[in-house]
Amino acid sequence: MLSIKNIHANIEGKEILKGINLEIKAGEVHAIMGPNGSGKSTLASVLAGREEYEVTEGEVTFLEKDLLELSTEDRAREGLFLAFQYPVEIPGVSTTNFIKAAVNEKRKYQGEELLDAVAFLKMMKQKMALVEIDQSLLSRSINEGFSGGEKKRNEVFQMAMLEPKLAILDETDSGLDIDALRIVANGINKLRNENRAILLITHYQRLLDYIQPDFVHVLYNGKIVKSGTKELALELEDKGYDFITDEADLAASL
Amino acid sequence: MTNVNYFKDQFEQLQDSGPATAIAELRTDGFNTFNKSGLPTYKLEEWKYTNISSLFDKEYQFANTAPAIQLSDIDAIRLAGHEQANELVFVNGRFIPALSTIRSTASQLVILALEEAAKGKYEQLVKAHLGQSSEYLKDGIHALNTSFIQDGLFLLVPKGQQLTEPVYIYHISDARQQNTLSQPRSLIFVEENAKLQLTETYTTLGTSESFTNEVLEVVVKENAFVEYYKIQHDGLNASQVGSTHIHQIGRSHVHTVVVSLNGGVIRNNLNLVLDAAGNETHLYGLYLLKGKSHVDNHTLVDNKQPNCFSNQLYKGIAGDASTGVFSGRIIVQPDAQKTNAYQSNKNIILSDQATINTKPQLEIFADDVKCSHGCTVGQLDEEALFYLRARGIPKEAAEVLLLEAYAADILVQIKPEPLRNHVAELIYEHLSIS
């Protein structure tokens, strides 16, 4: 579904990603872990099409299309979803209207029939229950005055509504207490299926207690330095990042 | 013939055509001032950012003959909610009763030609209040309107009349044959315990230039409530200096919203003279500029008596090569202790060629007052734009959503729902067409 080949990316002339390779197939859940500053969020931003980042080398194929050639909105309408690490507050734009516009933009792009108000509300009710989000949040402006947990829950709700083929969850666990983390993780688990790929980006192993990944990758200094199964995450939890980063630093110095 | 010679000629004809009334005297004063000052140039501080004198490089004419405007022409420009409204029509600056529709009864609402009112039972009122704005607006363009007071409007809401039907004023300029100068003049009284909702809108017919130089004077008495809305969405060939002068002579409440969408060069003067203790005034403005539009809002709040409250919020968006100007002047006179006066001007610039000039002026001569002002000029929130796009909403639509949201807190200040929805649609269309 997603194929990343030797991606290099800069921001303001500084190289952050230094040759990333990653293959993700439908139905798989991948976790990318790594210390602060390793390039995890940059990878998410590059995939979603944030314009501040300049890709200098490499290619990304998403569902047989050249992802880097697509605009941010077209990537979304092709089925890529980014759950933001810091969801933006947008006063004056109602959450419900925004999600309806997003759902219908995608349907229009895919050549499907647009949802009318009744069908949309029905869908909303169903997905609200799935991710345990309250109606009162959705009648407010986008994320305005939401707590950290409510913002993350809103991200997962949007994911449920947009039914992406590939969901990238950027530090969705950050800033959540244990109860909020459980609710958010439950929501994500319910959205897991054989047609959908999920890329979890996280600093901590604790999210992976709730969402069991098929593969774990360690990103360090702009490269994936180690890949493995979920046991790798446990090993990281146990030994800290040093055991991998020291190894990588040593290899780099040789 | 140059405009100035033409004005002189026309002025003499007008003065010779009628008797020496109080209005004729006022016109003479006006023309003397105009002769002395001429049209304002950018050398005047108050006209530093808006050049209207160059508009008069073109020759304008007053349309003296009755223009060919039918009731059906007016159907095209009616505002939402008109079925319940008193609709007053000005053509080329002249109030035309024959085209107007008055739905309130004569005891609820008095509507007369200004010249009629100046002769009859309202003679003293007219004498006392017509031209009061000249004390504040001393420039030549304001004097030019006064020089040609003719077929003006006199409107009075009598004591205790809480008028439920709003008053809509449609200004039509007929520029189908020639460049047209329209100079509407109105005098409005809202008496004790009365209520008035007043909306003005402007339409130019044809493709020649139109210039509207309007003066509207409003007198508000004890316990009266006035809502004033001005909707400017005319063609790019339509320029305007619109002066609204509101004199609160009794403790009263005034709420104003000025919305400027399309137009050529627009200058709005909005004066509030708080001339009784405890007055309350709210001024809101929204300008959404594209192309080469130029909109200049000058507000003046003169606090003359103690315990008055005023709040101003003007918001603007400037795209393409447009220019927005806001100048907000607050005067607190020595007697106006315990004044609360607030002012805020916020702007978004969408293009490198767009310009915003914003200038607050506070002149405080009393010592126990609370006044604040602030202005911002920024850009569209890139993070918000990316967030919307990352959900599949195309860039243009995402921008419209954000700009609509930005405008929303001014839009909600338009209290009558039909009018608010009407303006919301105009804003949406205006923002959607690039």
Kindly determine whether residue B390 and residue A82, on different chains, have CB atoms separated by under 8 Å: yes
ipTM for the whole complex: 0.95
Residue B286: list chain A partners with CB under 8 A.
Answer: none
pLDDT tens digits along B310-357: 999 999 999 999 999 999 999 999 999 999 999 999 999 999 999 999
Min Cα distance A232 → chain B (Å) is 31
Predicted confidence at residue B64, as pLDDT, reads 63
pLDDT band at B76 (very low <50, low <70, confident <90, very high): confident
Q: Which residues of B touch A91 (CB under 8 A)?
A: 405
Model pTM score = 0.89
Report the pLDDT averaged over residues B65-91. Answer: 88
Q: What's residue B324's pLDDT?
A: 97
What is the model's pLDDT at position B78?
A: 95
Residue B263's pLDDT is 93
Give the closest of B386, B392, B398 to A77, CB-based: B392
Q: Which of B286, B389, B402 would best serve as a mutation to test chain A binding (most A beta carbons within 10 A)?
A: B389
Q: Provide the pLDDT for residue B222.
A: 98
Contact B405 A98 (CB under 8 A): no
The gap from C-alpha A143 to its chain's centroid, in whole angstroms, comes to 18
CA atoms within 13 A on the CB side of B4: 10
Q: Where are the beta strands (DSSP E) in B276-434?
A: 280-289, 294-303, 309-318, 323-332, 340-349, 355-364, 370-378
Residues of B in contact with A162 (CB under 8 A): 391-392
Residues 6+ apart with CB under 8 A from A64: none
Q: Could you give the CA distance from residue B281 to residue B332 in angstroms, rounded to a whole number?
A: 14
**pLDDT tens digits along B103-133:** 999 999 999 999 999 998 999 999 999 999 9
Dmax (CA) of chain B = 72
Partners of B388 on chain A (C-beta within 8 Å) are 90, 93, 98, 102
The alpha carbon of residue B186 is apart from the nearest alpha carbon of chain A, in Å, by 37
- Rounded distance between C-alpha atoms, residue B398 and residue B405, angstroms: 11
In angstroms, the separation between the Cα of residue B289 and the nearest Cα of chain A is 20
CB contact under 8 A, A105 and B394: yes
One digit per residue, pLDDT tens: chain A, 254 residues? Answer: 999 999 999 999 899 999 999 999 999 999 999 888 899 999 999 999 999 999 999 999 999 999 999 999 999 999 999 999 999 999 989 999 999 999 999 999 999 999 999 999 999 999 999 888 888 889 899 999 999 989 999 999 999 999 999 999 999 988 888 888 998 999 999 999 999 999 999 988 888 989 999 999 999 999 998 899 988 888 888 888 887 878 778 877 76
Among candidates B383, B386, B405 on the partner chain, residue whose Cβ is nearest the Cβ of A93 = B405
How far off is chain A from B405, nearest CA to CA, in Å? Answer: 4
Best to test chain A binding among B315, B346, B391, B400 (most A CBs inside 10 Å): B391
Q: At B227, phi and psi to the nearest 5?
A: -110, 130
Chain B CB contacts of A76 under 8 Å are: 389-392
In angstroms, the CA A119 to CA A100 distance is: 11
Buried b (16+ CB within 10 A) or exposed e, A102-131: bbbbbeebeeeeebeeeebeebbeebbebb
3-state class (DSSP) for residue A46 = helix
DSSP per residue, A59-111: EEEETTEEGGGS-HHHHHHHTEEEE-SSPPPEEEEEHHHHHHHHHHHHHHHTT
**In chain A, whose CA is at the least distance from the CA of B411?**
A92
> What pLDDT is stored for residue A204 in this prediction?
83
CB contact under 8 A, B392 and A76: yes
Instruction: Quote the pLDDT of residue A248.
Output: 79
Q: Is A110 on the interface with B (CB under 8 A)?
A: no
Shortest CA distance from A101: residue in chain B? B393
**Chain A residues within an 8 Å CB radius of B398:** 73
Instruction: Name the residue among B79, B69, B4 with its Cα closest to residue B35.
Output: B4
In the A/B pair of chains, how many CB contacts fall below 8 A? 72
Is A91 close to B388, i.e. CB distance below 8 A?
Answer: no
Q: Shortest Cα distance from A143 to chain B (angstroms)?
A: 11
Are B231 and B418 contacting, i.e. CB atoms less than 8 angstroms apart?
A: no
Q: What angle do CA B40, B41, B44 make, to 5 degrees?
A: 85
Q: Is the pLDDT of residue B1 over 60?
A: no
- Smallest CA–CA separation between B342 and chain A, in Å? 23
- Mean pLDDT, to the nearest integer, of B178-203? 97
Chain B interface, best mutation among A90, A100, A157, by max B CB count within 10 A: A90
B chain contacts of residue A84, beta-carbon cutoff 8 Å: 387, 390
Of B383, B392, B404, the CB nearest to A105: B392
B331: left (phi over 0), alpha (psi -120 to 50) or beta: beta
Work out the minimum CA distance from A79 to partner chain B, whole angstroms. Answer: 9
CA distance B222 to A104: 54
Q: Which of A:167-226 have CB within 8 Å of B? A: none
- Predicted pLDDT at B148: 95
Look at B392 and A162 and tell me if their CB atoms are within 8 Å: yes
When the pLDDT of each residue in chain B is averaged and rounded to a whole number, the result is: 94
Question: Out of B387, B390, B397, whose CB is closest to A90?
Answer: B387
**Distance from CA of residue B324 to its chain's centroid?**
16
Contact B408 A92 (CB under 8 A): yes
A6: alpha, beta or left? (left if phi > 0; alpha if psi -120 to 50)? left
In angstroms, the CA B75 to CA B219 distance is 31
Minimal C-alpha gap between A241 and chain B (Å): 31
CB spacing of A162 vs B391 below 8 angstroms: yes
Q: Which of residues 381-400 of B touch A (CB under 8 A)?
A: 381, 383-384, 386-395, 397-398
